[in-house]
Amino acid sequence: MKSKISAAATLLFLTGSLGAAQADVGLVNLGSGITPYAASADGSVVAGYDTSQYFYWTADGGMVGIGGTIPGGGAGGTPSISDDGTILVGTALNSVSGANEISYFVIADGEWTHLGGIGGQSGSEISSGYGISGDGETVVGLGWIDAGGAHAVKWRESTGLEDLGSTVAGRSSRANAANGDGSFIGGWQDSDTGFRQGAIWIHGTQVLIWNDPAETVRLGEVADVSGDGYWAVGSGVSANGWQPWRWNGLDGAESLGHLDPAWRGAATALSFGGEVIVGFDRPFPGPATFGQGFIYTDDLGLVNLNTYAADQGIDTQGVTLALPLGISADGLTVVGVGRTATATVGWVLTLPTPSSDVEDGIHANGFHWNSSPNPFRSETVVSFSMELPGRARIDIYDAAGRSVRSPLFEGRGEGEVVAHWDGRDGAGRLVPAGTYFARLVLPTSTSVRKLIRVD
């Protein structure tokens, strides 16, 4: 029998995100004591917590409380949400076990499902939830092995709660985030000195994050991974000048810079293909809300988020967007915490779709890239032109980060190149109506476009 979580995840292909409308371009101030933490793929559903419980928020329905045990309320964990906006993950009290556990909440059912532990307990907690894969099938977090030690865990319906272990004897680990299909998980591993080092689990095998090929400088914990399972982002350390960073398995780590070179930074979230990264830069010591939020793209570099919003014509209403915590897969909705002259507030920032001179014109990296029609029913034409010749590849992914057609095109690109997608996967099967992504990989850059197939 299909589980509740599997059935809810299937809604991604059948109904979209709860039928929720996306917020208008601009800033929504959710008020004091509110911490929005994550957004669905199109930004229409936001997950977070207030001073007493978890919630989900939509532009039409506002905030709806769902209970659970919030961070600092006797348990760890952070809210996360599936790409289709139907399943939240966090920590909740199991009235049967009497302990707080890693749990998921299916909005359509209105109830928490508890996922147990791995044998240990610390205080009132046996495990805590931190992330969910885009397809809603994999839940990740932390499970206690005894009162003083914990391991990263992942849960799937077919396997139950799995201990991902620790590669350092007697030290703890934790999983913070998962990609679209749960095969690429990010978090941290305590070193033998207690340093919290960034870590990735690829199909269950741990890879530690280093700042250099010689593996002499450890980078800080991974906060998020891209939906396509290519990028990880996280916290700076003294050896890289406290800069936020991004990492992939081919190129290693890249530090992203600072808003203020005297501050300390971290990247907290990124879009599906990693084209847009958000995070914060802050003075130290002091809370992160004393600093400034940033947005990063290859074209822009690292830019103050308030400045970027203002450049898009958005009134930020006197809110310093100090601590971005999450971003939608399409890169257009950012959520987090900020400050006004009198309070700390939660906010939802909806950015405009890139203008046609970037999205359908000459890209700053030197190529023209378009898809038409979009949305489409039976076929769309994906085209690009390159100012300089070179290798090029286009792959199609679904909104959960799973490969659908790989490759759609691969070869040498020079001038105008046209690829036709008939809405079928690699086996020739017509894909369901929904959101898909075309990823163009060039020698010096990568770009992703959203494609929508309709019945």
Burial pattern 289-313, b for ≥16 Cβ within 10 A else e, equals: bbbbbbbbbbeeebbbbbebbeeee
- Give pLDDT, residue 369: 75
Query: 334 phi and psi, to 5 degrees?
Result: -115, 135
If asked whether residues 19 and 107 sit together in one domain, one would say yes
Domain identity same for 191 and 104: yes
Query: How confident is the model at residue 49, as a pLDDT?
Result: 98
Regions of the chain short of the pLDDT cut 50: 1-3, 6-18, 355-366
CATH number of the domain where residue 387 is located: 2.60.40.1930
Residue-wise pLDDT for 172-181, tens only, equals 999 999 999 9
**How many separate domains does the chain show?**
2
What is the DSSP code string of 92-160? Answer: EEETTTTEEEEEEEETTTTEEEE---SS--BTTBSEEEEEE-TTS--EEEEEEEETTEEEEEEEETTTE
pLDDT value, residue 421: 95
Q: Are residues 326 and 448 in the same domain?
A: no
CATH number where 170 lies: 2.120.10.30
Do residue 121 and residue 143 come from a single domain? Answer: yes
Q: 0.95 cut: is pTM over it?
A: no
Predicted local confidence at residue 10, as pLDDT: 38
**366 and 308 in a common domain:** no
Q: What is the pLDDT of residue 332?
A: 95
Domain membership of residue 438 as a residue range: 356-453
Rounded Cα gap, residues 292 and 133, in angstroms: 28
Give residue 368's pLDDT: 66
Q: Are residues 111 and 257 in the same domain?
A: yes
Q: Are residues 320 and 367 in the same domain?
A: no
315 plus 389 within the same structural domain: no
Residue with tokens 């967007």: 321
Q: Does 314 share its domain with 388?
A: no
Q: Is the dihedral of CA 11, 14, 16, 18 positive or negative?
A: negative
- What string of DSSP letters covers 196-235? EEEEEEETTEEEE-BSSTT--SB---EEEE-TTS--EEEB
- CA–CA dist 432, 79 (Å, integer): 29
One domain, residues 341 and 360: no
Same domain as 305, residue 181 = yes
Question: What local confidence, expressed as pLDDT, does residue 66 receive?
Answer: 99
Contacts of 149 (CB under 8 A, 6+ apart): 120, 170, 171, 172
Please tell me whether residues 332 and 371 are part of one structural domain.
no
Question: Which of 350, 372, 388 is at the close of a domain?
Answer: 350
